[in-house]
Amino acid sequence: MNDDLPSPADRRGVDEDGHAVVDPLCVAVVTVSSSRTLEDDPGGDAAAALIRDSENRVTARELVSDDFSAIRGTVDRLAGRDDVDCVVTTGGTGMTIDDVTPAACSGLFERDIPGFGECFRQVSYEEIGHRAMASRATGGIVAGTPVFCLPGSRAAVRTGLTALVLPEAPHIAGLATRHRFDDEGEP
């Protein structure tokens, strides 16, 4: 873990409405692609920049191929890290035969976040019209960690992060991990 990163207990708090939040939010970004590299990853670059610009932290950045086992293993491993409060995947949510991100991740979900996919498609519809129905963006909780699966385009990443994930993930992470902390916030 980063030496300058406060402990998980020290990053827990409440917002102005008394809701549990994690601040700053530590996010792992996983690009799913068989054709990209970390040096050529516009969607992952956009995600990392938006996370940093929102005064949160990118604590892991990985690229995996469009492979069910590789995606599942990477998301499961990252969700279990102490320096990861949220996992965002980019890519593999469309309609091609190798778009397996939703299936790989949903099998790990302890609890679904159905509203995420619904809201993503609604916001996307306002931007791109009926093509939004082809998105299989999804979300859920893995090992007490929110996981959001986004399409890989820069525009979709920007929409998903700015409209949905970054405003709400600190609260979802606070709720999902509340059972790990006692009344004093100690693990």
Structure tokens at 97: 């035969």
pLDDT at site 17: 84
pLDDT at site 184: 46
Tell which residue, 97, 100, 186, 106, has the closest CA to residue 148: 106
Where does residue 141 fall: left (phi above 0), alpha (psi -120 to 50 degrees), or beta otherwise?
beta
Tell me yes or no: is domain 30-177 CATH 3.40.980.10. Answer: yes
Hunting for tokens 């920007």 — which residue is that? Answer: 158
pTM for this prediction: 0.93
pLDDT grade, residue 10 (50/70/90)? confident
Residue 1 reports pLDDT greater than 70: no
Q: pLDDT tens for residues 37-69? A: 889 999 999 999 999 999 999 999 999 999 999
Cis preceding-peptide flag for 24 (omega within 30 of 0): yes
| Annotated domain spans of the chain | 30-177
pLDDT grade, residue 5 (50/70/90)? confident
Tell which residue, 184, 73, 78, 89, has the closest CA to residue 136: 89
CA quadruple 108, 154, 156, 152: dihedral positive or negative?
negative
Identity of the residue numbered 136: R
- Whole-number mean pLDDT of the chain? 92
Q: How many CA atoms lie within 13 A of 150 on its CB side?
A: 32
